[in-house]
Each structure stands twice: as C-alpha cells, then as structure tokens.
Chains A and B, each alone.
Chain A
C-alpha cells in the first residue's frame, strides 16, 4: 500500500468522534456550499458600517483588509457610509438597497445593492456604475453560468463582462482602442468590482473558494464594451433576443487569444486564423463540445468580412466548419469528455468540430483601429448570459 494511502487511512481511524474531517472545525465546513444545506429564504439582508479604522489612508485600509483576508492586493477606497450612500443614490435610488438580488456560491454570500455598492466603492467605481454591477451579478447567478464551478475550479476561468447599448457612452466605457486594456476608469473599476464581489461575497479566494492552479490576469478585472458604432452587424443583445437600451453579457472563460491578419481581403483567410486559434487541444472547449467561444472582432476585420456580404451567421457557420481536428486527435488527448452522441460516431480520421453547434460561436465587435481580433475560449460547463441593465 502506498504511503499516502496508509497515512490517509490512519487519519480516518484516528479521527475524533465529534469531527469527521481531521483538522477541519465544523464551523469552517458550515460556511461552505454543502449539498442539501437549507437556504435561509430571506428576501433582504441589512449591513451597517461596523468596522472602525484609525484613518482612511490607503496604508491603513489595505492593512485592515489584508488582515481579514479581504481585498485583491491593490489599494482600495474606504467604503464609508457617505460614499456607499452616494453610490446607491446614482441609479439605484428607487430600489430597496437591502434586497437580496443573488446568492453567490461557493460561500453562498447574499448580494444586496448596498453590499455591491460597498464593493463598487472599494474598487474605485465612479457613481453611476452600480446598476451595471447589479445586473452583472444578477447574470452571474443564473444557473447556466454554474458560478459554483466557475469560482471553485482549478481552471483559470474568469467572468468576462461585456457592456452593450446606451450605457457604454453614458457611463464612459471604452468600446474602442484598447478595450481590454488599462486606462479607462469604467472598464477597469467595474471589472474590479465584479472580482471583489467574487472574492468577498462569493468567497472565491485563492485556496479557499478558488482552486485555480495558476489563476490568470483577468481575475483582477475583465470588462469590455461592444463597439456597436463600428459594428456591421446588429447589436449582440438583439442577436440573442434581448431588446433593451442597455445590457450586459457574461461569458466565463480564458484570457483573450489574439489573432492578426494584415494581408487578406477574403473573409475566409481572416477566419481561418480564428479557426486555428479555436481548434486547440489545450482549452476546455476540446473535451466539452457544448462549450462556447466568443470571437471579438476588431472593427477593421469585421468591416472586411461584412463588405464581402458575410453575415454574423455566415461567420458562425464558417468557423464551425473550419475549427476542427480529427476525431482521433481528440480521442488520444482525453479520457473524460462531454460530447454530443453524434460526435462519438465519427471515424478517427474524420474532421471533428471543436464545438457541436454554430450557435456556440458568439460573434461581436470591440476595439479600435488595427488588424487584430481575438478568441475567448470557455471554461466548459457554463453558458453565457445576456440581460438588460436594470437597477
């Protein structure tokens, strides 16, 4: 018998009768998302500013938070009552601040507008972003997101938030040049506020509620905006059946994988590069055929493709046809897969699509001048959600 097995069996035999997991106190376990644990069923949860610090200096605040296991490691803005009230008053003034709008796993933290305002202040959000944060958190709690898995997995997955519609300009989001990058307060702080909500409310702290082996930079902040002004296609929300002045989409996946094409006028040549990025054995899309891809085209690539008469549907269909490896390559790479049954009937030498339906290839435009676009693979067992912005 191996040493580890012997050690484990010894621990089980030696376990105290009152504690079935050696070294884990019952009160620690009770805070986890235990199957069968009864939900409290409350509709509201009030909080008050109970922590007293000597002063609101950045040094004091970051030390206070670090000592309690809070924060993302970066400087924070003190969530005083005045700042939180001002955040609530800018867009959520007509709503109950203490209404529970989502329960976030694995900690099962109760997200209220006031609590989200606290995290928005901490992140440095300008007043006015709270309705977008509330809507994003509401979307993250939808069952198809599988937030428990997203937060707890060893995969580096982070939720990407895409802002659409009137909110982009009204709230100052950057849908253009460098949309994924630094330099814009709305993109940066909304993305950060979402991560702080995951850390604090959902309990997705590395090593506790987040088992990500390596993490990824987008776990700090991951927010862009759709560049509808320069898109040749209808807005993404409308394409998925959402009619709203403003909306948010959440897709839980990897960091963006760039592809560039500076040479070609033919859509197929540009899209072949996207397909080659998609058809890799390294992403979770490879063993999970229902997983989505987000293809974020820079405006110039989108214009070239659309000028040739290609619709969004044509792009999806072409990528579905081209993003393939042989079935044998997939089979040699994975023992455990989640595939549609028809994929199992392909011969080893036949081309097998990396996703089992064109609808799972999501297409939109963001970014500015230049010949770059990107592919964002999925975590796998999750589906994107698009919802109207509602406070």
Chain B
C-alpha cells in the first residue's frame, strides 16, 4: 500500500569530485617484479613493511628495491616522491594508521 503522506527529501552526501577509478589489474606473477616500501612515518611502520617486503621478495623471486619515507605520517606522499617510486618499482607496499 502506498504511504498516505509521502515526503520527498534530499540525500545529504551529494556528489564526489574525483573521477571513479578501478584498481589496476594485479600481475599474474610477482617473479621479476620490483617491490618498494613507502614508510608512512609511524613508529614501527618501516620495520613491519620491510620485513613483509623481504619475505615477499624471497617467496616470489621478486626484487626488493628499498624503503622510502614520506615527510610526515599526517600528510600525503609528496608528488615528486610518488613519481620517483613509480619509476623505481612495480609494486609499492605501504600502510596507514599506527
């Protein structure tokens, strides 16, 4: 049964100002790929991510190319560092939070 007194209201979230993007397809194998770590600046992040990258490279025959740190945990990765990483690596491991 339709409502007796329907009310029409606005949604509160509106539209999004960034083009929707799909994730890039994952490589079928990591063998021969270059892996870098983007240290998010939190205590312990570089240690955990470097361990992860090292283990991953050994198990998949990929190459670990190093750890790179952004300026602060509280700010986005700088554009020049991001572009540098894109040239150095096929896969970048990073994390967020603490």
Report how far A103 CA is from B18 CA in the complex, Å: 9
Residues on B with beta carbons closer than 8 Å to the beta carbon of A20: 23-26
User: Are A380 and B74 CB-contacts (below 8 A) given A84-B10, A109-B14?
Assistant: yes
CA distance A153 to B96 in the complex (A): 9
Contacts of B52 in A (CB 8 A): 5, 8-9
Question: When the two chains form the complex, which single residue of B6, B14, B42 contacts A111, counting CB atoms closer than 8 Å?
Answer: B14
- Given known contacts A8-B52, A18-B25, A149-B75, is B14 in contact with A47 (CB within 8 Å)? yes
Q: Does any Cβ of B come within 8 Å of A310's Cβ?
A: no
Stretch at the interface among A50-58, A238-246, A317-325: A50-58
- Is the Cβ of A109 less than 8 Å from the Cβ of B22? no
A38-B9 contact in complex given A13-B59, A19-B26, C-beta closer than 8 Å: no
Least CB distance from B8 to A in Å reads: 4
B17 touches A110 (CB 8 A): yes
Nearest A residue to B13 by beta-carbon distance? A200
In B63-79, which residues have CB < 8 Å from any A CB?
Answer: 72-77
Q: Of A19, A78, A109, which is in contact with the most chain B CB atoms at under 10 Å from its CB?
A: A109
Chain A positions within 8 Å of B10 at CB level: 47-51, 79-81, 84, 115, 118
- Is A16 interfacial (CB 8 A cutoff)? yes
Residues of B in contact, count (CB < 8 Å): 45
Q: Give B17-44 as 1s and 0s: 1 = Cβ < 8 Å from A's Cβ atoms.
A: 1111111111110000000000001110
Q: Note all chain B residues with C-beta closer than 8 A to A47.
A: 10-11, 14-15
Q: With A and B bound together, what is the CA distance between A70 and B56 in angstroms?
A: 40
Q: Which among A28-36, A167-175, A177-185 touches the partner chain?
A: A28-36
Docked Cα-Cα span, A338 to B54, in Å, equals 29
A8-B52, A146-B75, A336-B43 known; A39 and B18 CB under 8 Å? yes
Given A35-B82, A56-B7, A380-B74, are A196 and B23 also a contact pair (CB < 8 Å)?
Answer: no
Query: With A and B bound together, what is the CA distance between A152 and B43 in angstroms?
Result: 18
* CB neighbours of B4 from chain A (8 A): 55
Task: Report the bound CA distance from A154 to B73 in whole Å.
Answer: 11
Task: Tell me, in angstroms, the Cα distance from A143 to B28 when the chains sit together.
Answer: 39
A38→B43 contact, CB < 8 A: no
B98 at interface (Cβ–Cβ under 8 A)? Answer: yes
Determine the distance from Cα of A115 to Cα of B14 in the docked complex, in whole angstroms.
Answer: 7
On chain A, the residues within 8 Å of B74 by CB distance are 146, 149, 153, 379-381
Question: In the complex the two chains form, is A42's CB within 8 Å of B21's CB?
Answer: no
- Interface contact A122-B12, CB-CB below 8 Å: yes
Are A108 and B18 within 8 A (Cβ)?
yes
Q: Which residues of A contact B73 (CB under 8 A)?
A: 336
Of residues 193 through 244 on chain A, the ones whose CB sits less than 8 Å from some CB of chain B are: 196, 200-201, 203, 211
Q: How far is the CA of A247 from the CA of B77 in the complex (A)?
A: 33
Q: List 23 A-B contacts (CB under 8 A).
A: A20-B26, A26-B22, A26-B23, A35-B82, A39-B19, A45-B15, A47-B14, A49-B8, A50-B8, A52-B6, A53-B3, A56-B9, A80-B7, A81-B10, A84-B10, A107-B16, A108-B16, A108-B18, A149-B74, A152-B96, A201-B14, A336-B73, A379-B74
Known A18-B26, A336-B42; further 11 A-B contacts with Cβ < 8 A? A1-B55, A5-B55, A20-B23, A21-B23, A29-B21, A52-B7, A54-B3, A79-B12, A80-B9, A81-B8, A118-B10
Give me the 6 closest cross-chain CB pairs, A-B, nearest first: A381-B74, A54-B3, A103-B17, A200-B12, A20-B26, A108-B18
Q: Which residues of B contact A (CB under 8 A)?
A: 3-28, 41-43, 51-52, 55-56, 59-60, 72-77, 82, 96-98
